[in-house]
């Protein structure tokens, strides 16, 4: 019998543990409050609740907050695994949160699991958030942080030949866009890990013609955590009428070329409105000759990568991301 997260079974139903989790969260204070401060506070609360179910975080040896030099300088948290002498791969991680929320604390689970699961040194980047800092501030911070890690990777115990960018949701977009800017970096990137990434901001999730290109936006418009309306709000607060909806620094799918992008692992989720744009980016990379491992987890939703302590299927998918990245770095 296939696993409940078996990517070869697109007909499987929505994960019941996550459905129960979402039903419980619907009655949380602040769950539907659109105010930016409320969204940020609620993200921290929910991430802390989700972490309570995890027992394996002791795989991280230590965590250290640092200031990465550059223009601009960026705060980051460095995670190092136990019992794995270096040099190790280094993962520069960009958190999700719609460019307006998320921080070093909301994504502790994501970074700790990559740190122990790969294993790797993980550098989690505290990039500037909109609306206070609109596009391209987040991209500029993430590019500067990646450059700083590449220039001083030995300081963190990392292997300079195995530096990867990674992220989930909006952080997946930032990782993809930094990957497209790799030619401007002081050394090549060994890979990119994109989990449920935002890929195409054209139309701002409000344009019927653009939305029709991605059936998952209609199929999963509401009911599975992230909604299309919330995505439209995020884009509005991030881009603020800048006209950058098709700028590759915000929409990687609209880059003039994706040839030369780092080898990629892309994971999407069946019950995610962003599923089909992630698949479209995987197709674009494949056509350009970029080495790629793509999976879609049909029973999971947009936020599954933070729910390993909630649903066994999410935990299996999170472990598979580390395994796929490990194989990519090994050249397999």
CA gap 318, 265 in Å, rounded: 12
Predicted local confidence at residue 98, as pLDDT: 98
* Active-site residue, from 103, 126, 200, 272: 272
* Active-site residue, from 140, 302, 305, 322: 302
Whichever domain contains 312, its CATH number is 3.40.50.1820
Please give the residue range of the domain that contains residue 86.
16-329
The answer to whether residues 264 and 285 touch, using CB atoms and an 8 Å cutoff, is: yes
The answer to the question of residue 264 being in a domain is: yes
CA gap 52, 50 in Å, rounded: 5
Active site residue 33: no
The total of structural domains in the chain comes to 1
Q: Phi and psi (nearest 5°) for 265?
A: -115, 120
The set of residues, in sequence order, having a beta carbon less than 8 Å from that of 161 and lying 6+ positions away, is 190
Predicted local confidence at residue 86, as pLDDT: 72
The answer to whether residues 59 and 81 touch, using CB atoms and an 8 Å cutoff, is: yes
CA gap 282, 290 in Å, rounded: 9
The answer to the question of residue 10 being in a domain is: no
Predicted local confidence at residue 57, as pLDDT: 54
Kindly list the distances between the CA atom of residue 1 and the CA atoms of 8, 128, 310, 316, 318, in Å, as whole numbers in the listed order: 12, 45, 22, 16, 20
Strand order in the sheet with 264-271: 60-68, 74-81, 121-125, 88-94, 158-168, 191-195, 264-271, 292-301
Predicted local confidence at residue 209, as pLDDT: 98
By the 10 Å C-beta count (0-12 exposed, 13-18 middle, 19+ buried), 53 is classed as middle
Active site residue 302: yes
The answer to the question of residue 5 being in a domain is: no
Predicted local confidence at residue 2, as pLDDT: 34
Active site residue 272: yes
Q: What is the pTM for the complete model shown?
A: 0.95
Predicted local confidence at residue 56, as pLDDT: 57
The answer to the question of residue 6 being in a domain is: no
Kindly list the distances between the CA atom of residue 93 and the CA atoms of 96, 286, 297, in Å, as whole numbers in the listed order: 10, 23, 21
The answer to the question of residue 3 being in a domain is: no
The answer to the question of residue 286 being in a domain is: yes
* Active-site residue, from 47, 90, 169, 251: 169
Kindly list the distances between the CA atom of residue 40 and the CA atoms of 30, 46, 140, 217, in Å, as whole numbers in the listed order: 10, 10, 21, 24
The answer to the question of residue 9 being in a domain is: no
CA gap 193, 266 in Å, rounded: 6
Ordered alpha helix ranges (H), 26-107:
36-51
Query: To which residue do tokens 């930094």 refer?
Result: 178
The answer to the question of residue 7 being in a domain is: no
Q: What is the mean pLDDT of each run of 10 residues along the chain (332 residues)?
A: 50 93 92 91 94 71 91 92 83 98 95 94 97 98 96 87 97 98 95 98 98 98 97 98 96 97 98 98 98 98 96 96 97 76
Please report the beta strands in 142-288, taking only residues with DSSP state E, as ranges in sequence order.
158-168, 191-195, 264-271
Predicted local confidence at residue 262, as pLDDT: 98
């Amino acid at each position: 019998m296939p696993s409940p997260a078996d990517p070869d079974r697109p007909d499987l139903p929505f994960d019941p543990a996550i459905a129960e989790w979402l039903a419980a969260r619907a009655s949380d204070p602040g769950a539907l409050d659109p105010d930016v401060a409320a969204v940020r506070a609620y993200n921290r609360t929910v991430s802390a609740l989700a972490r309570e179910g995890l027992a394996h975080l002791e795989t991280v040896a230590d965590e250290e907050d640092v200031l990465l030099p550059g223009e601009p300088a960026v705060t980051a948290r460095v995670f190092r695994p136990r019992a794995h002498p270096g040099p190790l791969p280094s993962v520069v991680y960009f958190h999700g949160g719609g460019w307006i929320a998320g921080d070093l604390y909301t994504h502790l689970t994501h970074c700790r699991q990559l740190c122990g699961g790969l294993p790797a040194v993980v550098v989690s980047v505290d990039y500037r958030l909109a609306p206070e800092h609109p596009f391209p501030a987040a991209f500029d911070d993430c590019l500067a942080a990646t450059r700083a890690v590449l220039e001083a990777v030995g300081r963190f115990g990392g292997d300079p030949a195995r530096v990867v960018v990674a992220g989930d949701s909006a952080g997946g977009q930032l990782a993809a866009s930094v990957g497209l800017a790799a030619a401007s970096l002081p050394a090549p990137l060994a890979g990119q890990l994109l989990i449920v990434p935002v890929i195409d901001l054209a139309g701002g999730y409000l344009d019927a013609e653009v939305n029709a290109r991605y059936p998952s936006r209609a199929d999963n418009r509401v009911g599975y955590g992230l909604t299309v309306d919330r995505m439209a709000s995020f884009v509005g607060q991030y881009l603020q009428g800048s006209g950058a909806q098709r700028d590759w620094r915000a929409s990687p799918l609209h880059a003039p070329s994706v040839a030369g992008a780092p080898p990629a692992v892309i994971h999407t989720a069946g019950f995610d409105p962003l599923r089909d744009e992630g698949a479209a980016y995987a197709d674009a990379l494949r056509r350009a000759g970029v080495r790629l491992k793509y999976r879609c987890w049909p029973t999971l939703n947009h936020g599954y990568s933070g729910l390993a302590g909630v649903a066994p299927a999410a935990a299996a998918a999170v472990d598979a991301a580390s395994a796929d990245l490990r194989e990519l770095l090994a050249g397999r």
